[in-house]
Amino acid sequence: MFKNEHFSWVVGFNEDYKHVFVEEWSPYLGAVLIVVISIVLMASGLFWGVFGGLKLWGDYLNQSLGLGHVLGIKADLDNPLLHRISLMDITLVLGAFAAALLARQFRINRPPPLEYVWAALGGTLMALGATLAGGCTTGGFFTPLLFASPAGWAMWLGLLFGAYVGLKLLLWTMEHISWGTRAPAARAESVLKPYYPLLGLIVLGMMLYWAGTWSLSEDKRLASRAVIILAGFGIGFVLHRSRFCLSRVFREPFMTGEGTMTKAMIVALAVGMPVASVLLQHKTVDPYLAIPARFWLGSLLGGAIFGIGMVFAGGCASGSLWRVGEGHLKLVVAVFFFAWMGSVFGGVFKQLGWLTPEFDIDFLDGVPEITALGFQAYLPDLLSGWTGVYLITFAVLLIWYLLVRYNESSGRFTVL
C-alpha cells in the first residue's frame, strides 16, 4: 500500500499528460488560441501568412531547374530562415512534429497511389487559387478579415463555392475511377515510438533555445524573428492538438453536415476581429501590410479554385503543413506542388502584367496597391469609420452560423 501511495503522483501526472498532450483539444480552444497568436503577431507589427513562404521554396526549386530567368525570379532570393513567412512555415511544421511526438501520434502515413495524383492536382489548384487571391485560406481569408478587409469575405464566398464543387467532382471520381484506390500494407510501428515524447521534448527545447538565442542577438533582423519562431511553432502545435483545419471549416458542412470546425472559426473571428480592430485603430500595425491587392475579382476567383484544390489535396496550406509534421506523405506531395506551382503561376502572372502594382496616393488615409486582379480594400477607409465594419462583420458571421446550424439539423446543403 505504501508503494502505491508513493507512486500515486506518477499516475496523476500521466493522466494530466494525456489530457494536455494526447487527447484531442476542442476545435473552439484551438481556433481561439490561433487568434491569440495572430493578435500577438499583430501587436509585434507582423501577421500570419503561409503562401509567401511556400512560394519562396518554389522559387528556389525553379532556380535550380534553370527556370528562374524565364519566370522573372530574382537571383538573390531571401534566406528561407530569415524570410518571415518561410520561417513561420518551417516552425509550423516543427510545432506539429513536436506535438505529434509528444502524443506518440507521429507515423509515416502512406496513402493509396491515386491519392498522390489528387495531392499533385490539389496542390497545383491551390497554388493557382492562392496566386489569384494573393494568399491561401490564411493570407487570403483569415488574416485579411482580422485586418478588416473585404477581400477576406470575397475569398470566403469563393471558398464555399469551390468546396461544394470540389466535393461534387471528388464524388464523381470515387464512382468512376477504381485504379490506385488500394492502400499499401501497413508497416510495423517504429521501434522509436516509446521514445517519441522524449524526442518531442528535445524538439521543444531546441525551439526555445533557437528563439532565445535570436532574441538576444545584436543583429536586429535576427532579434525581430524570434517572435516568429515561437508563433509559428505555437500555431503548428495548436493546429495538431486541436486538429483544426481551415479546409474543414468549408468542406465539412457540405461533406458530412458536421459544423463544429465552422462554428469554431465563427467564434474565433467574432472574438479576434474586435480585438484586432483596437490594434488597427491605434496604428500598432499597418493595415495594408497584410491586405492582398485582389479585391474583389482575384479574391473571389482564387477562392473558388483554391476551394476545389483543397478538397482534392485533403487540406489547405496550413492544414497540409501540420499534417506533414505528423508524417502524411500525401500532404508532402501537395505542399511540394503548391510551392512549385505557386512560383510558376506567380512568374507567369507577373510576365502577363496581372501582378504589376500601381498606387493611388490620393486614396483617403492609405496608399492602396492596385493590380489587374483588384486592389487593397480596407473597410474603415471605404466606410469612413468602424461602425459599418462591425455591423457587416457580425451580420455575416450570424448568417454563416445560422446556415451552418440549419444544415447540421437538416442536411440541406450536404453533398455526400
Q: Is residue 19 part of a domain?
A: no
Tell me if residue 323 falls in helix, strand or coil: helix
pLDDT in the model for residue 371: 94
Work out the angle between the directed axes of helices 220-242 and 84-102 (0-180°, nearest 10).
40
Please give the Cα distance from 130 to 301 (Å, whole number): 10
The answer to whether residue 42 sits within a structural domain is yes
Residue 416 lies in a domain: no
Query: Is the residue at 182 inside a domain?
Result: yes
User: Is-contact 315 88, C-beta < 8 A?
Assistant: no
Q: Is the pLDDT of residue 359 over 90?
A: no
Task: Please say if the pLDDT value at position 2 is more than 50.
Answer: no
Q: 377 lies in a domain?
A: yes
Out of 85-94, 151-160, 338-347, 368-377, least confident range = 368-377
- In the chain, the number of structural domains is 1
Which residues form the domain of 192? Answer: 25-410
Half-sphere exposure (CA, 13 Å, Cβ side) for 40?
15
Average pLDDT for residues 237-243, to the nearest whole number?
Answer: 98
In a domain, 7, yes or no: no
pLDDT at 389: 97
Residue 345 lies in a domain: yes
The closest of 261, 253, 288 to 381, measured between CA atoms, is 288
Q: Within 13 A of 378's CA, how many CA atoms are on the CB side?
A: 23
What local confidence, expressed as pLDDT, does residue 1 receive?
46
Domain assignment of residue 318, yes or no: yes
Percent of the chain with pLDDT over 70: 96
Question: What is the tens place of the pLDDT at every residue in 79-123?
Answer: 999 999 999 999 999 999 999 999 999 999 999 999 999 999 999
Nearest Cα to Cα of residue 232 among 6, 10, 52: 52
Model pLDDT for residues 161-205, shown as the tens digit of each residue = 999 999 999 999 999 999 999 988 888 888 999 999 999 999 999
The predicted model gives 312-337 an average pLDDT of: 97
**pTM for the full model?**
0.94
